[in-house]
């Protein structure tokens, strides 16, 4: 699993190290300090989506022998992208898997819709563009609202109010049963359109089972 929290955590780890280097205080076990750092990291991530650098200031983050210790750091977009480049690389395989399983070619993709606030990060945008052969992702839908918009459309279809939209739901995982030897025998493959059904006959593997 991979999400925006992973990017936030990289900033948190960076700030913890910087704070320890400058004050000698390790706040990695301080729950209150870590919560403040997490909130500041998320805000910094958002700001770096539109700015080249951001200032992170947390007064009285901890106490030292000399009194309160403050955090005052500047984080650039370049630094942020460097510390998270491995996370970005991990998104390539799921993308390639989806294309392969869908049985389509990249050049056949008409539109790319980004989902989730973290897709606003320039590095994510550029990666998607590169993986789709230079195709600019669609900016017509708010990434934070796209799932809710889809759910609203589905509700309209179910109520019969929308007839101009065809929404196809699929199984996210393969479904099957465990057979002898602990092997899973798949009955319905992942990404199969639902509703669907499939039957298969199985026999018992042992007497009196």
Give residue-wise pLDDT tens across range 158-170. Answer: 898 888 887 788 8
Asked if the 91-167 domain carries CATH number 3.30.1330.60, the reply is no
**CATH 3.30.420.40: which residues of the chain?**
91-167
Strand partners, 68: 63
pLDDT over 90 at 32, yes or no: yes
Nearest partner of 115 among 81, 85, 139, judged by Cα: 139
Q: What is the chain's mean pLDDT, rounded? A: 92
* pLDDT tens profile 43-96: 999 999 999 999 999 999 998 888 999 999 999 999 999 999 999 999 999 999
Assign domain 4-84 to a CATH class.
alpha beta
Among 29-33, 143-147, 164-168, which range has the highest average pLDDT?
29-33
**CATH 3.90.640.10: which residues of the chain?**
4-84
- The per-residue pLDDT for 129 is 94
């Amino acid at each position: 699993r991979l999400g925006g929290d992973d990017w936030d955590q990289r900033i948190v780890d960076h700030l913890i190290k910087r704070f320890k280097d400058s004050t000698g205080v390790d706040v990695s076990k301080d729950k209150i300090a870590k919560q403040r750092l997490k909130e500041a990291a998320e805000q910094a991530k958002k700001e770096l989506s539109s700015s080249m650098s951001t200032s992170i200031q947390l007064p009285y983050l901890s106490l030292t022998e000399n009194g309160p210790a403050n955090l005052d750091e500047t984080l650039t977009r370049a630094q942020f992208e460097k510390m998270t480049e491995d996370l970005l690389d991990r998104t390539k395989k799921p993308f390639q898997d989806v294309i392969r399983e869908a049985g389509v070619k990249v050049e056949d993709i008409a539109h790319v819709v980004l989902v989730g606030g973290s897709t606003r990060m320039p590095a994510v945008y550029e990666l998607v563009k590169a993986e789709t052969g230079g195709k600019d992702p669609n900016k017509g839908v708010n990434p934070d609202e796209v799932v809710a918009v889809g759910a609203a459309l589905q509700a309209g279809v179910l109520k019969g109010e929308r007839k101009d939209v065809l929404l196809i739901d699929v199984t996210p995982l393969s479904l099957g049963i465990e057979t002898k030897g602990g092997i899973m025998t798949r009955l319905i493959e992942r990404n199969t359109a639902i509703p669907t059904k499939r039957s298969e006959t199985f026999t018992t593997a042992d007497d009196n089972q």
